[in-house]
């Protein structure tokens, strides 16, 4: 992935494989289970507060999922070039993509069992390998985008 900052916009050049990896990753959104979000357990809030949080998060995830699908289906999104494609993003789009990719990275880590140490020793098999790859690739794209924001 090559990144060129042009004023308030960012031009990303991706190889063909990178483009497919990015599309595949974004199609995984959302990855963090709604059950992972709880109000602080030490407070004595009514169950209705947790229900309101759950409803708000569900609405936010649905809205973001729709935005991801619209973003991916925009025929002008990926300008094809000889080596792959170009993607032009505003600063706010980069921030938004970072949030989406972080959900995918963290959600994939959770699906791996949230290993604290020795991640490379995590039990990998046919079921978990795709989560490990998604976590690593999301991290790769996040690091590239964060570097562009510097």
pLDDT tens, 13-63? 999 999 999 999 999 999 987 665 555 555 565 667 778 888 888 899 999
| Cα torsion 105, 106, 111, 117: sign | positive
Q: What is the pLDDT of residue 28?
A: 97
Provide the domain limits for residue 71: 2-33+50-149
User: Does residue 39 fall inside a structural domain?
Assistant: no
Rounded to the nearest 10 degrees, the angle between the axes of helix 91-111 and helix 16-26 is: 70
| Domain count across the chain | 1
Map residue 148 onto helix, strand or coil: helix
Q: What is the pLDDT of residues 94-119, one digit of tens each?
A: 999 999 999 999 999 988 888 876 66
Asked if residue 124 belongs to a domain, the reply is yes
Residue 58, φ and ψ in degrees, nearest 5: -60, -40
Q: Is the dihedral of CA 29, 33, 145, 139 positive or negative?
A: negative
Question: Does any domain span residue 42?
Answer: no
Taking the CB of residue 124, how many other CB atoms lie within 10 A of it?
Answer: 14
- Residue 41 belongs to some domain of the structure: no
Nearest to 58 by CA among 32, 27, 34: 34
State how far the Cα of 47 lies from the Cα of 20, in Å rounded to an integer.
Answer: 43
Determine the straight-line distance between the first and last CA of the chain, rounded to whole angstroms: 16
Gap between the Cα atoms of 135 and 110, Å rounded? 10
* pTM for this predicted structure: 0.86
C-alpha distances (whole Å) from 139 to each of 25, 59, 102 are: 11, 26, 8
Question: Rounded distance, CA 59 to CA 49, Å?
Answer: 15
């Amino acid at each position: 992935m090559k990144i060129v900052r042009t004023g308030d916009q960012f031009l990303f050049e991706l190889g063909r494989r990178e483009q497919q990896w990015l599309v595949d990753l974004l199609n995984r959104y959302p990855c963090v289970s709604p059950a992972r979000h709880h109000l602080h357990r030490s407070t004595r809030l009514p169950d209705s507060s947790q229900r309101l949080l759950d409803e708000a998060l569900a609405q936010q995830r649905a809205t973001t999922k729709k935005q991801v699908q619209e973003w991916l289906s925009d025929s002008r999104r990926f300008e094809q070039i000889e080596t792959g494609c170009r993607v032009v993003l505003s600063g706010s789009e980069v921030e938004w993509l970072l949030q989406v990719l972080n959900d995918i990275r963290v959600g994939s880590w959770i699906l791996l069992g949230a290993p604290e140490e020795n991640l490379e020793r995590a039990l990998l098999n046919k079921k978990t390998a795709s989560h490990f790859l998604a976590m690593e690739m999301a991290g790769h794209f996040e690091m590239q985008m964060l570097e562009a924001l510097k």
